[in-house]
Each structure stands twice: as C-alpha cells, then as structure tokens.
A and B are shown apart, each in its own frame.
Chain A
Amino acid sequence: MKNFLIFSLIIISVSCCKPVDPPPPTPSTTGNLRVSFIANFNGQPFVLDDLYNATFNYRIKSETLKFLVHHIYAKKSSGDSTEINQHMYVNFSNTSNAFTVAMAPGTYSGIKFGLGVDGSLNHSDPSLLPPSHSFSINQANDMFWTWATGYIFTKYEGRADTTGTLSGPTEQLFFFHTGADTLFREIDLAQNFSINLDQTTTVYIDLDVNKLLNGTNDTINLKIDNGTHTMGNLPLASRFVALLSKAFSIHL
C-alpha cells in the first residue's frame, strides 16, 4: 500500500511536469489581414536612390526613408477598433514592410496607426525591450536620440538637384530627423475591406514621397530648408511631420 502511494505520487508529479497535450484541432474561425506599407512618388513606383522630378523643378534622390509605427488598429464602422500590431519599424531599404494577422471575419472600415512612439514608451530604455520588439535597440538602434532620451520617429535623407534645370548635380544634402512627444501623430485612413474565413485580405498603406516636401498647404524648398534634427529646428520638423501625416493613403 505504501509503495503504491509513493509510486502514485511520483506518477502524478511527473505527469504534472509534462506539457499539456495539445487540444484537438478545431475548425478555423478566422481569416487573415495583411497590412503592407509601400511608397510611390507622385504615382510612380518609388525606389530609394532613384531620381525623381519634384516641385521647383528640383530632382530628388531619396537615400533613407524610415519611420516607427506604434499601435495599428483595424477599424469598424461601428467605431470599434481592434489592435492588430503594437509596433512596427517601416524601412524602405527593406524589400517588404508588411505583417499578417489573424482576424475575425467581418467588414472593416479602415486602418489607423500612431506615427512615431507614444509617450508611454518614447522615453524608455531601448536596451530593456526584448530583441523581438521593433523598437528594441537590436532593431531600431539608429532610431534613438542618444543625447536626449527618446526615439527618432522618422528619418528622411537624400540629395537634391536644386538648380531648377532638371539636369544639375544632386549636391544639396537634405535630412529630416523628427521625433518628440509633440510630433507624435495619429493617422486615420478610411477604406472598407472584408476579412473572409481562411482567406487573406491585403491592405496597402501607401506613402507618396513627393508629398513629404510638397503638400496641399505647405511646400518645403530644399534650397532653403534642408535639414532638421528636430530640436535644432523644431518649426521645420513640425512642418515636415504635418506634410508626412497627410502623405499616406490606403487601398486594397
């Protein structure tokens, strides 16, 4: 009896340590949403280091274009929204800037996301985030102000031909490094889409790079305003962020 009890206890103890058997497969109840950040230049396919004609008859060669995205939501027409990704580092040096998430089937009315890093995380220590986190020092090590704690939300760099002849040398360097709590923006884009059972729906968040310098209400002349690290020229950083936040569109 005693041995039986001991044996039983051992068996029970060992059993407790074993992983729980996976449940039997259940029928799928979700579809997939793929969200892809892409870019164009005034309707043309955008490629880094290619030359594009821009306003003022300038030619622009974009060499770096990247930004941090915090909290991406799929919206419903009822006003409800579901967070589909907490953090993303969009870098157009990469071949793709997309993610896929399983979602309940249904009809959705758009996507919204934070451009930058919100105040809850903006002043944290990036080396404390797990390497899998898009804002960790392992992934976003070049998107952090090192002289003042906080993230660089956006980096747009390149060279321009500002002769106005469309044939001059691309000698004018430009850089827009923006990042401050006051420059965090929420982008809200309307586009109806459906998620169907076991199917993948792709939604494109499309950035018109031409609009980064040439918007409806403002135009940045690279001959005059060609660089900001935010704190050194906050007015220009604010103008750039205003243009950037109006440069996104959404389509299927």
Chain B
Amino acid sequence: MIFGLAALLLANAATILGANALRRRFCTESPGSELVHLLLFRLLLISAAVLACGLLRVLNATTLAAVSVAALVPLVLLRSHRDLPRLPIQGASRPVLIAFALVAVRLLLQVWIFAPHQGDAVSYHLPKMAEWIRAGAFTRELGAHSHVTFPGGFELVETWWTVFLRHDVLVEMAGLEFVLLAAAAVLVIARRCGLSDRAAAFAALFFVLTPGFHLGATSALNDAPAAALTLAMVAMVLDGSPLPLIVAVAGIGVGVKPTFGFALTGVALLLLLQKRLTLAELARAPKPAWTCAVFGLAAGSYWYLRNWAWFGNPFHPLGTPGFQDPTYVQFGPRWMSLPQNLASLIDQRIYDSAGIMNPNVDHMAGWGAVAFACGLVALVDACRESSMLRRVTAAVSVSMLTTMLFVQNDAWCLKYLFYVPAVLALAAAWRMDRTPELNPVGWLAAAFCFAMTMVSYDLPMSRAVTLAREPWRTRSLTAYSPRTGSADSPDDAVGYYGSPIGPSYVLYRPDFSRRVVYFRDTRADLLLEAMAREQIRDLFAPAPTPEQKAVLEEARRSGRLQERDEVWWSRLP
C-alpha cells in the first residue's frame, strides 16, 4: 500500500508538471485560464498513459511509477514546477471562499466514504475498469451490460485513480478533477462575459452546486465530466485558446461520452460568433499544438475504432440490426424528441420535484435552486444588457436543442445537459453583482443545493453512515448485496448470470481480489460445464431474464445447482 501511495503521488506530480510544461509551450493565455489548460493537458496525459499501458498489457502501478519517475527528472530539470497556475480565486469574497472550502471538504469526504453505488456505474461503467485492473491490460471481457462497449474515456481517469492502490477507495477522485475543471471554466467564461472577479467566483460556486452535476461527480458517472469538458471548450473559445487545443478537447470529450458530440454545435456557433473560424486563426496556432489535437482525437476515437474492429460497427451495439436494448438509447436524430424533451423540461422537470435528487436526475433536470429561482429571472436582465452573455446563452441553447434532438424523452434524458445551468449561474452572479440586495436569495438557494447534494437516491443517508463506519479497505456495497441484503459468497471467484443491467461491479470487491466470470450459456448443461471448467461454485444471478431463469430452473431440477437465496445459486459437487 505504501508503494501504491508513493506511486500515485509520483504519477500525479509527473502529470501535473508535464501538463504545466505543455501549457507553457502552447498557450498564451489570460490569467485564470491557466488552470483550465493545465487540467486539460493533464487529462490528455492521463488518457494517453492509461491507453498505452492498457494496450501494451503493462497497466500496473510499477510501470506507471517507473514512467513517472523517468518523466519527472527532465521535468524538474526544465523547471516545470515553476509558474504552476494558482487557483484563480483572486477577488472572491470571504464568504464565497469559505463556501468553496466547505464544498471541497465535503467532496473529499464523499470520495472517501462513498463506495461505488450508482446503478449504471456498477453495472456497466466500472466492471470494465475492474477487468482491466485485474488483468493489467485492456480486456475483451467488459461485463454483462449491453452498454459496456460504449466509449470509456472517463473510465481511463477512474483507472488512473485506482490502479496504483489497486483499490477503489479513491475512484471518485476522477469526478472531482472535472468539478475543478468546470469551476475553472465557469470562472473564465464569467470574466470574459464581463463579470467582476467577485461575481465570477460566485458563478463558479453556483455552478459547482448544481445538484445533478454535483452528485454525478461522486457517482462514477460520465455525464458530469462531459458537461465540464463542454464548458471548458466554451471557455477556450472565449479565451482565444489555440484551435488545435480546442480540437483536442473535442476528441477527448467524444471519448468520454458520445452525447458530448451533440453539444459541439453550440461550440461551433460560438467560434463563428467570435470570428475564430478563420484562416488567420488557423495560421496563428503553433504547429506543434496540432500534435495535441492528434493525441486528443486519437484518445477519443480509440473506442470507436475498437468497436469497429471487434463488431464492424463503431457505435456498437447501437445501430446493430435486430439489437434489442434493455435500456433503450436513441440512435440518430428524431424530430419528435426535441419538442418532447423541451416540453418535459419546461413543464415538469425544471422544478426538480419528482423525487430524491440523484445523478441520473430521474424525471428531473437537476439544475437546482440557484438556476431555477435566481438564474431564470436574472437571465432576462443579463441577456438584455450583456452581448457576450447573449452569445454564450445562444451557443449553449443551440447545444441543448441539438442534444434534445438526439436523445429520446426517457426518465434521465436531461442528465446530458448539465452544462446548461452554467449560463443560469452566470446570469445569477451577474445580476447579484449589480444588485447586492439579491445576494441573500442566492445564498439561500445555494444552501438548499448544498443540502440536496449530501446524499443521493442511490445512496441514502443511513447507507452512507454505515459505509463511513466501515474500515476503508473493505468499504463496499458487496456486504449488503445490492438487491436483497443476502450474505455474500466467501469464494475468491464467482460467476455472474443475472440481469444484463445487474450490479456486477460489487462482486469484484474493493481491492479487485475476486475473479468474476460472466456466463452467457443458454442451456443448463453448458452453464454447469462452464462453471466446473472455471472452478466456480457460487453464481450471482440478480433479476435474471426469463431465458436465464429457465436455465437456472433446469439446472436446479438436475440436482446440480442449488438456490441459496434470491440472488445466489451454488453448484453442488
């Protein structure tokens, strides 16, 4: 563990110094945007490192530590540790700084206490990471869910925070990186929109407390990171960042989540409005910066190329003939989706009153009290008086409408729009800067958002308190069994034969010490044979499909499989 911790620190130091060296090489920036550039270059380096190690089958702490040490020596000699950007909070008022500190401490506590708990995370985001870490390489086995082949750009960052300790206690740190990125991006946008330093800090605080975004950051989901990258692109366009770097972020973003691509329409509009899509602008970019663009595009397109190579379809399983998705995802534009999504946002979901807040914002928008109470009213004034805020609002609106065109109106469709409340946060901060009498309402709304984001639907307070009392080494939802509270298997290798959307990640244990074998057999004798071959005794089968249920029943009737409780089955000798 000591070695893992040292390796984690060394590797993070190397990526920060490396990112700082790249930032100084390629960016001529205004004060405030240094942090955005640093975080984006770091993200690029982390993605490249994990991708390379995964492909070369050396995805482990030792290799990454060795590479980090090798990189650190020249970086220190080149004095890359100098001119590290400061936190761009100059001019922020003391109450805002205290609020930021409070939010940061709580986020760190949440990272420490929370075990991966969110349904999508434990069913298809994290099982692939667990397989990679166990194998020390990228694997063909990614889990049982039909969405496991979706792009895994965010999982690369989660792997980074997990591989050194070989433990998932810090896995949510990946989300925190994007909270910091979003806050820094909102600060840049705010300053470019003419907000004072004080108001810009207010806007960043307001946005960070957006409930859907905030809970998403500590739930191992990729919607908050995609929103942060969208805001980073807006900030870079406004700040005059070199075009190749904007292209690099677009590449990374598409690798994090395909829905990020829908927001690019608004970014393109902003580039046009800012007169940045010109030959002169292209010529102004430093030539080596195009290398970054190539790296960003390569990191993002890897997942699509992999799917193309494996399945002949870059978007697999979407668009595959005959594919029936247990969790349907719209593929391509559909005109009816736009009015349906818009109407449900305006008429119902913006009130956030349909249930306990959660990172998937089921039947809600997750935009929070600040956006709803202060932002909507303030936007009227802000758009009236600030041409730059009008531009940003127009760009974000175009991104929002495009996204709504491409996603079906399901319970969680608005989680793809977590970047939109940034405009409302900017407007609210802009208005309050001009009318200090409005500040108490802003603070009340922000406090309410803080209360909303203590815990989520997927991890209520009682469960969070229980997790907090557990030793960190064993802190996991495994012990509770995700569905029934039944006892976990004592074996170091178990099988999974349950619902395709079941929580298979919890089986791996927090230190990835358990092997999980996914069975896909359609006959009882084949299943039993496969279990014997893999030396698996216990089978985890939560909510099996009717076909799986029939196979399990047949195996039970044969006397070779015993139903232990609602989710566990045991093979008899």
Chain A bound to chain B: no
